[in-house]
Amino acid sequence: MPNMSLTRNEMPVQDADVRNKNFKEVALGYTEEQAVDEAKRCLNCKNKPCTNGCPVQIDIPGFISKVAEGDFDGAYAVITKSSSLPAVCGRVCPQETQCECKCVRGIKGEPVAIGRLERFVADWHNANSTGAAEKPVSNGHKAAIIGSGPSGLACAGDLAKKGYDVTVFEALHVAGGVLSYGIPEFRLPKSIVQKEIEGLKALGVKVETNTVVGKTVSIDELMNDEGFETVFIGSGAGLPRFMNIPGENLNGVYSANEFLTRINLMKAYKEDSTTPIKAGTKAVIVGGGNVAMDAARCAKRLGADVSIVYRRTEKELPARAEEVEHAKEEGIRFCFLTNPIEIKSDENGWAKSVVCEKMMLTEPDASGRAKAVAIEGEFVEIEADCVIMSIGTSPNPLIKSTTAGLDTQKWGGIIADDNGATSKSGVYAGGDAVTGAATVILAMGAGKKAAAAMDEYMQNK
Amino acid sequence: MFEILEKKCLNPTVTLMRINAPRVAKKAEPGQFIILRTDENGERIPLTIADYDRENGSVTIIFQIVGATTEKLNHMNEGECLHDFVGPLGRATETEGLKKVAVVGGGVGCAIAYPVAKKLHEMGVEVHSIVGFRNKDLVILEEEFKNASSKFVLMSDDGSAGEKGLVTDALKSLIDSGEKYDRVITIGPLIMMKFVCRLTKEYEIPTVASMNPIMIDGTGMCGGCRLTVGGQTKFACVDGPEFDGHLIDFDEAMARGAMYKQFERKAHEDTCNLFKEVK
């Protein structure tokens, strides 16, 4: 008999007043009992609407029924048929707009907590699995992956499982891309990311850190001189945007990328870190996406009084509802319909305050969202010695500018077809480098699709 | 790994190291830089490439001991390995079409000015090198500069080496004596570059300054190295590190350079104390 409770099992979390002072993971995960109880809420629908909502088409009722039986290893096997990074996606996927919003249980009551179950299964596997991955037999073909973020890791994993000799090139000193430098420890512990990467290495994947493709070596050199038959570009969208308002280069003003990289990659939040960070006493974060929430919650943990400034209203916030909730619980203030026009300086060249214009919503614009326009003559000045610009990123032009024959969009995205094939023969691309900033799961899906296409290309060569 | 193949003390505060980094050596050009970390928990610091040898796969860096990381670096020896070494980053010095150039270096900036002078000299460009130091103990690369220049002027603040005075004094007198440069390339402390650029602007001589701001990734990702050039925000790591000196907002660059001064001072002291204890 299914569990007909209208509400899902709550996942234990660190208390808001405790967690807003540490960088440990906020959500603590289900116990076995909670997971089994939650899994029993699934009706095992024949037409699997949830699976249709999943960008990588995980057999969701399939893995959940295994959980209900207490066969957690079996559940893991079902998930990994479609997903390369379950411990990551179970934490950072926007399930509420993907699988969970399609769940029949959600029509009357709360949907099955699919994300929490995915996370449980992956964590259980990581904690209990003893079987080491077997290195597949080599097929003698070489593939290069540029970037070790979600798309690159997914692509590398799928190719390695088929026996390809895969090398991942990473510009930074640590692999993981945005999973390492962007998403904070309290949302995605770095040990989980490293575990995924160790898993790939066990499959024979080589990871070359400190290699900036486009500078250290070019794609043409990889293909012509180093024998790589195919290349996958998963270099992400790492270039920060600024507003181009007066005062943006003052001391104390960061891009969210810099702020988060100092904290996540360089561990600047630790007492003994060699990399400094200044979250100030009063921090203002500009923007309303997940990255803005991450930056705000980091600043809070570093002791600042934090406000998020967003030009539209709460309804239009692009961040996940859960992240917004968490931020509010942790004591972060939201200033809606507010748009910065200038950052003012103290006498030493440090940010002192942010001058904002008040906004109102009008007709929807091309993106379908209500357009925010300034209300004439209405301004507000917010005190801030730290200002973090979190208004989006765009693809890095480094690869485009050093690879002949690679077509890109006007805004910088690499042009690729549904299978990731670019205008250059043998070169594939996927993830944020193609779509612009999106989600981990979409990038992972693109990496997997490209891996299948690269496999076909190399087999038919 | 990135082994230290050679270590040489150039003066009490400046050290040269030749690092095994074949991929970087293969691509390096004058004007570009690398980012290194000494150890697993080290910070990332950018250093301009002082020289490279494509055949034996080595890259030379010259650094001044100014903070915790350079202090740690200076305590490493031949045979030891740097944890990370990535590059070459940034754009190479533009040398095309030049006939006569004044290279103006100050302090440890001369380490970066030298490979530029050398390349120009090898290309057949007439090079006048003007280098300045605080005193005679801090002079580096004197012979090397002489060999790469048709005119070499050494300046020191106290007159203990070469002539007493600033590099701007020397540059001004050369220009006033009729030397016609089609470009001035200046590398050194921000305040020195600011005044070199102010001088050459008066004389309308195109001038390039090499910037070395605080940065993390060096690939355009963090934006920490941004500066204002001609009213526009530029990233030193990907758009530079060399920019039109007449358009750089040097005052802003100086303020940004001092952003973590307190932290850096304390980190340096802590590191020094640590090494003292070990002794």
CA distance A177 to A265: 10
State how far residue B4 is from chain A, nearest Cα, in angstroms. 17
Residues with pLDDT less than 50, chain A: none
- The closest alpha carbon to B90, from A215, A258, A170, A220, belongs to A215
DSSP assignment of B234-272 equals EEHHHH-SEEETTTB-HHHHHHHHTTTHHHHHHHHHHHH
| Cβ(A297)–Cβ(A20) below 8 Å | yes
Q: Quick check: B27 and A215 CB within 8 A?
A: yes
- Best of A216, A244, A386 to substitute, by most chain B Cβ atoms within 10 angstroms, is A216
End-to-end CA distance of chain A: 53
CA distance A435 to A437: 7
Question: Of A209, A238, A252, which is closest to B221 when you measure between CB atoms?
Answer: A238
Q: Quick check: A249 and B42 CB within 8 A?
A: no
Angle in degrees, CA B114, B117, B121, rounded to 5: 140
Q: How many CB pairs under 8 A join A and B?
A: 111
CA distance B70 to A410: 42
The pLDDT of residue B59 is above 70: yes
**A327 contact B CB<8A:** no
> What distance lies between CA A313 and its chain's CA centroid?
24
Question: Of B43, B220, B260, which is closest to A239 when you measure between CB atoms?
Answer: B220
Angle in degrees, CA B52, B46, A299, rounded to 5: 160
| Cβ(B14)–Cβ(B61) below 8 Å | no
Q: Which two tokens stand for residue A119?
A: 């996370």
Q: Quick check: B221 and A266 CB within 8 A?
A: no
Beta-strand (E) ranges in A210-350? 230-233, 239-240, 253-255, 282-286, 305-309, 333-335, 338-345
State how far residue B261 is from chain A, nearest Cα, in angstroms. 10
- How many residues are listed for chain A in this entry? 461
The pLDDT of residue B105 is above 90: yes
**A255 contact B CB<8A:** yes
CA distance A82 to A61: 13
Q: Quick check: B233 and A254 CB within 8 A?
A: no
Question: Chain A partners of B258 at a C-beta cutoff of 8 Å?
Answer: 251, 349
| Cβ(A210)–Cβ(B87) below 8 Å | no
DSSP assignment of chain B equals -EEEEEEEEEETTEEEEEEE-HHHHHH--TT-EEEEESSTTPPPEEEEEEEEETTTTEEEEEEE--SHHHHHHHT--TT-EESEEEEEESPPPP-TT--EEEEEEEGGGHHHHHHHHHHHHHTT-EEEEEEEESSGGG---HHHHHHH-SEEEEEESSSSSSEES-HHHHHHHHHHTT---SEEEEES-HHHHHHHHHHHHHTT--EEEE-----SSSSSSS-TTEEEETTEEEEHHHH-SEEETTTB-HHHHHHHHTTTHHHHHHHHHHHHHHHHHH-
CB within 8 Å of A242: residues ≥ 6 apart: A248, A255, A389, A391, B223, B226, B233
CA distance A42 to A60: 10
Q: Quick check: A257 and B222 CB within 8 A?
A: yes
State how far residue A108 is from chain B, nearest Cα, in angstroms. 45
At B95, phi and psi to the nearest 5?
-120, -5
Question: Chain A partners of B221 at a C-beta cutoff of 8 Å?
Answer: 181, 238-240, 257, 261, 396
Whether omega for the bond prior to residue A2 falls within 30 degrees of 0, making it cis, is: no
Chain position carrying tokens 């280098």: B131
Q: Quick check: A172 and B88 CB within 8 A?
A: no
Angle between helices A114-128 and A72-80 (to 10 degrees): 110
Sheet with B45-53, strands from edge to edge, namely B81-82, B2-11, B14-20, B58-64, B45-53, B33-37, B84-89
- The closest alpha carbon to B31, from B116, B110, B106, belongs to B116
CB within 8 Å of A63: residues ≥ 6 apart: A75, A76, A78, A79, A117, A118, A121
- The closest alpha carbon to A288, from A311, A257, A322, A264, belongs to A311
Question: Of B44, B221, B256, which is closest to A257 when you measure between CB atoms?
Answer: B221
Tell me how crowded residue A131 is: count the other CB atoms within 10 A of its CB.
7
| Cβ(A346)–Cβ(B252) below 8 Å | no
CA distance B143 to A287: 55
**A254 contact B CB<8A:** yes
What pLDDT shows up at residue B272? Answer: 86
Distances (CA, A) of B130 to A430, B64, B176: 50, 20, 15
State how far residue A23 is from chain B, nearest Cα, in angstroms. 18
Q: Which two tokens stand for residue A387?
A: 């200002």
Minimum Cα–Cα distance from B87: chain A residue: A216
State how far residue B242 is from chain A, nearest Cα, in angstroms. 17
Q: Quick check: B87 and A212 CB within 8 A?
A: yes
CA distance A26 to A264: 15
State how far residue B19 is from chain A, nearest Cα, in angstroms. 15
**A257 contact B CB<8A:** yes
State how far residue B61 is from chain A, nearest Cα, in angstroms. 17
Q: Name residue A101's amino acid.
A: C
- Best of A265, A274, A278 to substitute, by most chain B Cβ atoms within 10 angstroms, is A274
**A383 contact B CB<8A:** no
At A373, phi and psi to the nearest 5?
-125, 150
**A220 contact B CB<8A:** no
Q: Name residue A427's amino acid.
A: V
Q: Quick check: B222 and A240 CB within 8 A?
A: yes
Question: Of A212, A244, A276, which is closest to B89 when you measure between CB atoms?
Answer: A212
Claim: this prediction has a pTM higher than 0.90: yes
State how far residue B204 is from chain A, nearest Cα, in angstroms. 28
**A225 contact B CB<8A:** no
User: What are the beta bridge partners of residue B103?
Assistant: B129, B185
**Helix boundaries (H) for A229-387:** 256-260, 290-301, 321-329
Secondary structure (3-state) at A152: helix
- How many residues are listed for chain B in this entry? 279
- Best of A173, A225, A348 to substitute, by most chain B Cβ atoms within 10 angstroms, is A173
Q: Quick check: B86 and A276 CB within 8 A?
A: no
Q: Quick check: A261 and B222 CB within 8 A?
A: yes
What pLDDT shows up at residue A345? Answer: 96
Question: Chain B partners of A396 at a C-beta cutoff of 8 Å?
Answer: 219-221
Question: Chain B partners of A272 at a C-beta cutoff of 8 Å?
Answer: 41
- The closest alpha carbon to B23, from B50, B58, B48, belongs to B58
The pLDDT of residue B279 is above 80: no
**A374 contact B CB<8A:** no
What pLDDT shows up at residue A369? Answer: 78
Question: Of A240, A254, A274, which is closest to B41 when you measure between CB atoms?
Answer: A274
Distances (CA, A) of B197 to A381, B127, B186, B200: 37, 18, 8, 5
Task: Count Cβ neighbours within 10 Å for each residue of A317-333 and write b for 16 or more, e otherwise.
Answer: bbbbebbbebbeebebe
| pLDDT (tens digit per residue) in B123-143 | 999 999 999 999 999 999 999
Q: Quick check: B69 and A244 CB within 8 A?
A: no
> Is the Cα torsion angle B139, B141, B142, B143 positive or negative in sign?
positive
